[in-house]
């Protein structure tokens, strides 16, 4: 199913992250698809290109990494 044009909220939904995290990804990944246009309401992207990018970056998962805790009896008292 064609996705069409998407704004930042839709980019976040496609990727599975918050709008704030989506904005970070757009800014920090040099291979993130370039926006097709910048409108008064914000930038718009090709949704299919965003989906393709998301599949190409499986290492990028939503959420924070889990904290590593010391196993019981490992010291640190």
- The H or E element that residue 39 is part of is strand 37-39
pLDDT at 66: 65
pLDDT at 58: 79
Please report, in tens digits, the pLDDT of each residue of the chain (77 residues total): 567 999 999 999 999 999 999 999 999 999 999 999 999 999 999 999 999 999 998 776 555 666 777 666 555 55
- What are the sequence ranges of the domains in the chain? 5-56
pLDDT at 1: 52
pLDDT at 77: 54
Beta strands across the sheet bearing 42-46: 5-6, 42-46, 37-39
């Amino acid at each position: 199913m064609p996705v069409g044009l998407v704004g930042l909220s839709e980019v976040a939904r496609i990727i599975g992250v918050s709008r704030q995290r989506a904005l970070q990804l757009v800014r920090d990944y040099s291979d993130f698809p370039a926006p097709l246009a910048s409108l008064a309401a914000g930038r718009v992207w090709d949704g299919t290109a965003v989906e393709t990018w998301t599949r190409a970056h499986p290492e990028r998962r939503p959420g924070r990494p889990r904290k590593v805790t010391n196993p019981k009896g490992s010291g640190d008292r």
